[in-house]
Chains A and B, each alone.
Chain A
Amino acid sequence: MSNTDLEIIVDDPTAPEPDSPAVCSTRTVEIVVSLLLLALAVTLGIDNYATGISWDDTGPQPGYFPFYLSVILGLASLFGLITTLLARAPSDTFVTRAQLRRVLLVFLPTAAFCLAMQVLGLYVASFLLISGFMRFVGKIAWWKSLLTAFVFTAIMFVTFDIAFDVIMPKGPLEAAFGR
């Protein structure tokens, strides 16, 4: 009997549609990123110039090294901008609408988790993120989602707070238990 008689098949019920329309091209994103980097280089260059880019009794002033790095960053970004603008080859799709929707499906809950962490503490926010994500994004059964979230959060709590004494942000629930 060969070893390949068994196959592992994993399906993805939330897969993005292959024919989803493009939101933007890679060329557009490259132009925007080059412009942003150029703006950053100019801002940092001005700031470092103000800090001091010449020499004093102690050698080069604090802005000297980062100023010239800003110049290098600016020149490289400008080069990237020009080559992208002059490129004639058709550009790839940066992201399709379906792909963007899936990226936001992770990004938005992650941002909400970061916000919740400030109010509810790390462990409650983690429990909500894991159970909510599994249930609403992964369409996994409620009981599995809640159980997984509880077990994972409990393991994290025991590992970091109890075993290794790493202090994590706490919220009202932990306060109610006196921690």
Chain B
Amino acid sequence: MEAFGLLLHGFAVLMTWKIMALMVIGLVLGIFVGVLPGLGGPNGVAILLPLTFTMDPTSAIVMLSCIYWGALFGGAITSILFNIPGEAWSVATTFDGYPMAQQGRAAEALTAAFTSSFIGSLVAVLLITFLAPMISSFALKFGPPEFFAVYLLTFCSFVGLGREAKHKTVISMALGLLIAGIGMDTVSGTLRMTFGSNELLRGINFLVAVIGLFGISEILLTMEERLALRGHAAKISLRTVINVWKDLPKYWMTLLRSSVIGCWLGITPGGAIAASFMGYNLAKRFSKDPESFGKGRIEGVFAPETAAHASGTAALLPMLALGIPGSGTAAILLGGLMVWGLNPGPLLFVEHKDFVWGLIASMYLGNVVGLVIVLTTVPIFASILRVPFAAVAPMIVVSCAIGAYAIQNAMFDIWLMLGFGVVGYIFKKIGIPLAPFTLALVLGNRAEDAFRLSMIGSGGSVGVFWSNGLVGTITTIAITLLFWPLIDRAFAGIGRLMRPTPASA
């Protein structure tokens, strides 16, 4: 009940013309980056982050999170109308969304996608509202070993549960942690890995790296391909919306199942991609008519969109409650919090109530306003694709440069941004994932501090990570997750051995 009262307070914080206007601007910008080929949630947030540098933290985070919601909504437009998934998590939406558009049911598919996005996000925001304060108050009891164990759990689950080759995830993460350590050591004041460079004294700013890795590299990748599109135009009428909404109760099980999957995979670093495919596959498996999936079935749009959006939103829960982002975009938002001098984690709920509850309230409002905007403006946003990429690309480059420079007013950062752009381009093409790199960059110093404090406390014994039930459990789960592919394979092997062979049967 306390959460409800605080949430109402959060709504009160938001009810100013300025914040409402920023919310709408954020949503529109977000839908814009979601629709543009090659851009998406993390890129949009990274590129547009500099717009928020001089705002107060609440206004800034409201605008940034609305850019994120907008990008999530916008991705569905290209998936359904053009069969172009803006993000990997939109791939499953194309399976049935595009066939629906081909059958002349584009408006129905878009309404289904936007509505299910809204439902998925809503379930995740409800979870955040009631669970985040509980987790954060529990986490207030954490000491350095517990925090390091949670960081370790995050890193290990990225390696163990990620889809990419394990060594590539390890490379990405180790590189991110090393780059985070460049500059002055926060404990002893000693310089590390600067090689005599004055520019490296202050370290490499996380946002400069992110702007290069996500913004510049995406432009290089997008330019590489043919920028020709052929798709359907759509206009959503009120009657279509009412018809789709009337049918919603029929799909309550699909929506519920996908929401639960999404929330689970969002809190753990499974991610929106896994959630959308799992949501789609389970909807197909439990359907009475699985053969109709892939041929333009509305349930095939509901399932992945609900799961992906529940996951994308739920990824903010560990960020708010523990200071550990559940996704790449959440990591960028967390970096934003640090720019405004906020220390994400359990203390945020105690020290910055207005900010936290304003943000949570903005998640509700942003989704409602976003739903209304996308339902009414689809033709406008679909026509954005008519703007030549040769006009959009240099504008994005300029926005990235402004962002990279504005962080520390350093020209060196512009060159770093360009360098990270090339690294991002190569890494993406050879399959080295960028999300673990981003996460490691953000959490690197905190993880190292927690580790060092734990080791000092224990006199150098790693046994501190098993010194009580809580930290021991978290560390054990972390190590289990790290070796999960091997454990899984071992179980499968044992299962095969136990199974009677056809000859012995």
Q: Residues of A at under 8 Å CB distance from B?
A: 2-4, 6-12, 14-16, 26, 29-30, 33, 37, 44, 47-48, 51-52, 55, 58-66, 69-70, 72-73, 76-77, 79-80, 83, 94-95, 99, 102-103, 105-107, 109-111, 113-114, 117-118, 122, 126, 129-130, 133-134, 137-140, 148, 152-153, 156, 159-160, 164-169
Given known A15-B227, A51-B192, contact A3–B430 (CB-CB < 8 A)? no
Cβ of A76 to closest chain B Cβ, rounded Å: 4
7 interchain pairs, CB-CB under 8 A: A3-B233, A10-B228, A59-B455, A110-B219, A117-B405, A126-B401, A160-B406
Q: For B394, what are the chain A residues with a Cβ–Cβ distance below 8 Å?
A: 109, 129-130, 133-134
Cβ of B466 to closest chain A Cβ, rounded Å: 19
Cβ of A119 to closest chain B Cβ, rounded Å: 11
Closest-by-CB residue of A relative to B449 is A65
B170 contacts A7, C-beta separation under 8 Å:
no
Question: Quick check: which of B86-94, B260-268, B284-292, B384-392 contacts chain A, the rest being far away?
Answer: B384-392
Could you say which of A52, A130, A138, A166 contacts B53, with CB atoms under 8 Å apart? A166
In the complex, A83→B177 CA distance in Å? Answer: 24
B81 contacts A8, C-beta separation under 8 Å:
yes
Could you say which of A69, A103, A130, A133 contacts B224, with CB atoms under 8 Å apart? A103
Given known A110-B216, A166-B406, contact A60–B455 (CB-CB < 8 A)? yes
B170 contacts A72, C-beta separation under 8 Å:
yes
Given known A15-B227, A59-B456, contact A8–B390 (CB-CB < 8 A)? no
A62 contacts B397, C-beta separation under 8 Å:
no
**CB of B429 within 8 Å of the partner chain:** yes
Q: For B401, what are the chain A residues with a Cβ–Cβ distance below 8 Å?
A: 113-114, 117, 122, 126
Q: For A66, what are the chain B residues with a Cβ–Cβ distance below 8 Å?
A: 177-178, 181, 192-193
The 8 closest A-B pairs by CB, nearest first: A138-B390, A2-B104, A6-B233, A59-B456, A73-B174, A15-B226, A62-B185, A133-B394
Q: For B421, what are the chain A residues with a Cβ–Cβ distance below 8 Å?
A: 110
In the complex, A54→B60 CA distance in Å? Answer: 43
Known contacts A62-B188, A137-B390, A160-B402; 10 additional CB pairs below 8 A are: A7-B230, A7-B232, A58-B456, A69-B174, A69-B178, A102-B224, A106-B223, A129-B398, A156-B402, A167-B409
**CB of B107 within 8 Å of the partner chain:** yes
Question: Quick check: which of B122-130, B359-367, B410-418, B489-497 contacts chain A, the rest being far away?
Answer: B410-418
Q: For A113, what are the chain B residues with a Cβ–Cβ distance below 8 Å?
A: 397-398, 401
Q: For A126, what are the chain B residues with a Cβ–Cβ distance below 8 Å?
A: 398, 401
Cβ of B228 to closest chain A Cβ, rounded Å: 4
B235 contacts A3, C-beta separation under 8 Å:
yes
Closest-by-CB residue of A relative to B233 is A6
Closest-by-CB residue of B relative to A84 is B430
Q: Is the interface of A mostly helix, strand, loop or mixed?
A: helix
Q: Is the interface of B mostly helix, strand, loop or mixed?
A: helix
Interface residues on B, range: 35 or more
**CB of B187 within 8 Å of the partner chain:** yes
Given known A9-B230, A83-B167, contact A107–B422 (CB-CB < 8 A)? yes
**CB of B51 within 8 Å of the partner chain:** yes
Cβ of A155 to closest chain B Cβ, rounded Å: 10
Cβ of A122 to closest chain B Cβ, rounded Å: 7
**CB of B17 within 8 Å of the partner chain:** no
Number of A-B contacts (CB under 8 A): 223
In the complex, A16→B222 CA distance in Å? Answer: 12
Closest-by-CB residue of B relative to A81 is B167
In the complex, A136→B471 CA distance in Å? Answer: 60
Cβ of A56 to closest chain B Cβ, rounded Å: 9
Could you say which of A8, A99, A153 contacts B232, with CB atoms under 8 Å apart? A8
**CB of B467 within 8 Å of the partner chain:** no
A3 contacts B234, C-beta separation under 8 Å:
yes
Closest-by-CB residue of B relative to A64 is B452
Given known A8-B81, A73-B175, contact A159–B425 (CB-CB < 8 A)? no
0 or 1 for each of B179-206: is its CB under 8 Å from A? (1 = yes): 0010001011010110100000000000
Q: For B389, what are the chain A residues with a Cβ–Cβ distance below 8 Å?
A: 12, 138
Closest-by-CB residue of B relative to A65 is B448
Cβ of A172 to closest chain B Cβ, rounded Å: 17
Q: For A164, what are the chain B residues with a Cβ–Cβ distance below 8 Å?
A: 53-54
In the complex, A114→B415 CA distance in Å? Answer: 7
Q: For B190, what are the chain A residues with a Cβ–Cβ distance below 8 Å?
A: 51-52, 62
Could you say which of B50, B167, B177, B235 contacts A69, with CB atoms under 8 Å apart? B177
Cβ of A142 to closest chain B Cβ, rounded Å: 13
A37 contacts B171, C-beta separation under 8 Å:
yes
Could you say which of A51, A103, A140 contacts B220, with CB atoms under 8 Å apart? A103
Within 8 A of A (CB), among B435-479: 448, 451-452, 455-456, 460
Q: For B382, what are the chain A residues with a Cβ–Cβ distance below 8 Å?
A: 8
B187 contacts A62, C-beta separation under 8 Å:
yes
Q: For B405, what are the chain A residues with a Cβ–Cβ distance below 8 Å?
A: 117, 122, 168-169
Q: For B168, what are the chain A residues with a Cβ–Cβ distance below 8 Å?
A: 76, 80
Q: For A72, what are the chain B residues with a Cβ–Cβ distance below 8 Å?
A: 170, 174
